[in-house]
Amino acid sequence: MDSALAISEWRPLEERHHARADALTEGRRARASRGQTHPVDDFLYTYYSYKPAILRRWHPGVGVALREAADTPRAEWRWYRSDGEDLVVDTASFVADKGLMLAGIGNILRATSDARAQYGCFGLHEWAMVYREAEHRHPVPLRLGREGTDAVVDAHPLTCTHFDAYRFFTPDAVPLNRRELSRAQQSATEQPGCLHANMDLYKWAVKLGPLVPGDLLLDCFELARDIRELDMRASPYDLVEWGYAPVPIETPEGKATYVAHQREFTDRAATLRAHLRAIIAAAQEGAA
């Protein structure tokens, strides 16, 4: 065992985690109770399909024993094992059950880390998702109108590298992308400058379940939330009524603003991605 936390230590950690998670999800939970939706904030809950309760569940992470936890409800959680009166994440069991998934996530994280960051996409994936279509995904008006939106796409090369954005391109936009993307080639095309690849760190952290310490999970969520805001501010949608000033990527000033934020997110994501890779490596090594 790498370390252990006395009950007087881990209980406050768990409580602080609950408070932080509740603060992060307060808006979503309040809207859900009223049957309301939000075009920016709700994305992280609908696209990834993870409910606020997922964020609230605190784990100490790999190799950390929780003293006097064997008689708590946590003892019934999947992928925990008892060690006398203590509980610890059952890494071997998790790897046995989720080994292929673990390897797949590790491959994507490693490939993304090793790739060269690219900063020339300017968030045009959102524009490509509405290109030459009368209907669009969000019930929000287009900032430049239909013709103006299409003109921006026509005036810029599409250089998307993220399959899960590319798969929502309209049929007319698909052949405009610099390269054809596929799920099978995802690890070969991901790169660390991509907003969606960095947003996906939240998804990977959730999928790694009890292996991931609670603070890392919430850090990944906060990064995804901040990225989503830029993603929509730089999109073709007019979100002023929702309190979001546009980042007009059709202008030189807007492009410069977008790239500055993109570089900041790249740096934040690199740290989180390294932590997730280390967790996977430790789990695989411990189960070997």
What are 47-88's pLDDT values in tens digits? 998 999 999 999 999 999 999 999 999 999 999 999 999 999
A 10 A CB-CB count for 29 gives: 13
Strand ranges across the sheet with 3-5: 3-5, 64-66, 86-89, 80-83
What pTM was estimated for this model as a whole? Answer: 0.95
Residue 80, strand partner residues? 89
pLDDT computed for residue 288 by the predictor:
64
Compute CA 238 distance to the chain's CA centroid, rounded to the nearest angstrom.
Answer: 24
Give, for 265, the enclosing helix (H) or strand (E).
helix 252-287
Residue 46 contacts residue 226 (beta carbons within 8 Å): no
CA distance 185 to 175: 17
pLDDT computed for residue 1 by the predictor:
56
CA distance 275 to 98: 19
Could you say which residues of the chain have pLDDT below 70?
1, 288
Closest by alpha carbon to 27, among 5, 7, 4, 55? 55
Closest by alpha carbon to 268, among 215, 234, 222? 222
What is the DSSP secondary structure assignment for residue 145, as one 8-state letter?
A: H
pLDDT computed for residue 31 by the predictor:
95
CA distance 187 to 130: 26
* Tens of pLDDT, residues 104-123: 999 999 999 999 999 999 99
Compute CA 200 distance to the chain's CA centroid, rounded to the nearest angstrom.
Answer: 3
Cα-Cα end-to-end distance for the chain: 16
CA distance 212 to 219: 11
pLDDT computed for residue 286 by the predictor:
74
What length does the chain have? Answer: 288
pLDDT computed for residue 2 by the predictor:
78
Closest by alpha carbon to 2, among 285, 218, 197, 228? 285
